[in-house]
């Protein structure tokens, strides 16, 4: 695995952990009603998608359990959707999708963050 892939997967993991914190204890209704929460979720999902897009094809092939195309597609919809973002999909990804993504990323990223430093 390339060193850049480890760094990028680490960025994804960091954003997933933040996203999990943001949505903890919220329902879909409170998520949509809270503009700051909603915007934070969109930003974090965009960040995860940006990082996923920078991963190598080799990393993606080695970890087919991660829905790379879907993550990148979500980022593209958020960035280029111009208001046509499906709240149900955003909520599902933020509340349920990350619960599957978190352990998959934890299997890629070493437990010691200093190991990613040059």
- Its pTM stands at 0.88
**pLDDT, position 84:** 81
**pLDDT, position 115:** 47
Using pLDDT thresholds of 50, 70 and 90, give the confidence band for residue 110.
confident
List of long-range contacts for 32-35, beta carbons under 8 Å, 24+ apart: 32/87, 32/91
């Amino acid at each position: 695995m390339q060193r850049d892939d480890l760094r990028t997967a680490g960025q994804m993991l960091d954003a997933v952990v933040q996203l999990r914190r943001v949505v903890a204890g919220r329902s879909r209704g409170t998520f949509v009603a809270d503009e700051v929460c909603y915007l934070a979720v969109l930003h974090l999902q965009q960040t995860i998608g940006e990082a996923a897009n920078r991963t190598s094809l080799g990393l993606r092939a080695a970890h087919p359990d991660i829905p790379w195309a879907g993550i990148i597609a979500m980022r593209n919809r958020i960035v280029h959707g111009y208001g046509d973002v499906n709240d149900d999909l955003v909520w599902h990804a933020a509340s349920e999708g990350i619960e599957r993504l978190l352990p998959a990323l934890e299997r890629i990223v070493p437990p010691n963050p200093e190991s990613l430093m040059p």
